[in-house]
Chains A and B, each alone.
Chain A
Amino acid sequence: MIKFISSICIISLLLATSVFSETDEEKGFRIAKESYESTRGYIDSKSDQIMILIDPKGNEVVREISGKNLENMDPDDGDKSLIFFNKPKDVEGTVMLSHTHVNDDDDQWLYLPALGRVKRISSSNKSGAFMGSEIAFEDFSGLDYRKYNWKYLGEENYEGEMCYKLESYPKYENSGYTKRVGLTDELLRARKIEYYDRKGDLLKTIYFEDHKLYNDAIWFADTFHVVNHQNDNSTIYKWKNRQLNIGLNKKDFEKSSLMRLAD
Chain B
Amino acid sequence: MQIDSLIEKSLLKLFSHKIKLLFFVFFLLTIFISGMRFLETPSGYRGFVENEFTHYKNITDLEEKYGQIDVLSYAIKPSKGDIFQKDVLLLIDELTRNSWQTPYSTRVESITNHQYSTVMGDDIEINDFIKNIQNLNDKDLLDLKSKALKEDSIVDFTLSRNSLASLVNVYLQVPEGINFEEPMVFAEKQQAYFQKKYPEIYLGIAGTVQYAHNFQTTAERDSTTMYPIFLILITIISYLLLRSVIASLITLLIIIFSILPSMGSAGYLGFEVSPPLIIAPIVILTIALAHSIHILSIAMTNMSEGMNKKEAIIESIKINFVPVFLTSLTTAVGMAGINLGRIPAISEMANTVIIGSAFSFILSVILLPILFVLLPVKEGRKPILVLRYLKILGDLIYKFKYSFITVIGIISIVLSSFLGNIYFDERWDNYFDRVPKWLEVKNVVDKEFGSSFFLFADITTGEDDGIADPKYHKKLEEFTNYLENQYTFINVTTVSNIIKSLNKNMNGGESKFYDIPDNKALISQYLLLYEFSVPYGMDLKNQMTANKADSRLLVRINYATATEVVKINNEIINWINENMSPYKTNGLAGIPIMFSYLNTENAKGLMRGLVFSFFFIVIIVGLALRSVKYGLISIVPNIVPFVLGFGVLGIVSGMVQGPHQTSILISLGLVVDATIHFLTKFQKATNMGLTAKEAIQYCFKYVGYPIIVASVCLFIGFLFLTQSIFISNYIIGGMCALIIGIALLVDLLLLPALLLLSTKKV
Contact = CB atoms under 8 A, between A and B. Distances in A.
Are A and B interaction partners?
A: yes
Interface of A: 53, 55-57, 59, 61, 85, 88-91, 94, 96, 108, 110, 112-115, 117-132, 136-137, 174, 176, 197-201, 230-231, 233
Contact of B464 (A88, A108, A230): A88
Interface residues of B, number: 44
Contacts of A121: 124-126, 529, 532-533
Nearest to B522: A114
A55 B536 CA distance: 19
B87 interface: no
A60 B173 CA distance: 22
B173 A231 contact: yes
A123 B125 contact: yes
Interface string B511-551: 00000000111111110110111111111110001111000
Contact of A94 (B103, B523, B525, B533): B525
Nearest to B127: A123
Contacts of A113: 521, 525
Interface in B96-125: 100-103, 105-106, 122-125
Contacts of A200: 101
A124 B127 contact: yes
Given A61-B547, A90-B468, A91-B525, A199 B101 contact: yes
Contacts of B523: 90
17 contacts: A53-B547, A90-B523, A91-B525, A91-B528, A112-B526, A119-B506, A121-B124, A121-B126, A123-B533, A124-B535, A127-B535, A130-B532, A131-B531, A132-B541, A198-B101, A231-B106, A233-B546
Contacts of A96: 532
Contacts of A120: 122-124
Interface in B320-358: none
Given A90-B521, A122-B126, 5 more contacts: A119-B124, A128-B535, A130-B532, A230-B106, A231-B106
B8 interface: no
B531 A110 contact: no
Contact of A57 (B64, B100, B464, B525): B64
Interface in B79-102: 100-102
Contacts of B100: 197-199
B696 to A, nearest CB: 71
Nearest to B544: A132
Contacts of A128: 531-536, 538-539
A61 B522 contact: no
Contacts of B425: none
B99 to A, nearest CB: 9
B533 A125 contact: yes
Ranked 5 nearest A-B pairs via Cβ: A176-B536, A90-B524, A127-B536, A114-B522, A198-B100
B101 A110 contact: no
A123 B126 contact: yes
Given A120-B124, A125-B126, A125-B532, A115 B103 contact: no
A176 B541 contact: no
B465 A90 contact: yes
A57 B125 CA distance: 36
Given A90-B465, A119-B124, A199-B103, A114 B528 contact: no
Given A90-B524, A119-B529, A61 B534 contact: no
A34 to B, nearest CB: 29
Contact of B525 (A59, A115, A199, A201): A115
Interface centre among A53, A55, A124, A125 (most CB of B within 10 A): A125
B562 to A, nearest CB: 33
Contact of A110 (B532, B539, B545, B546): B532
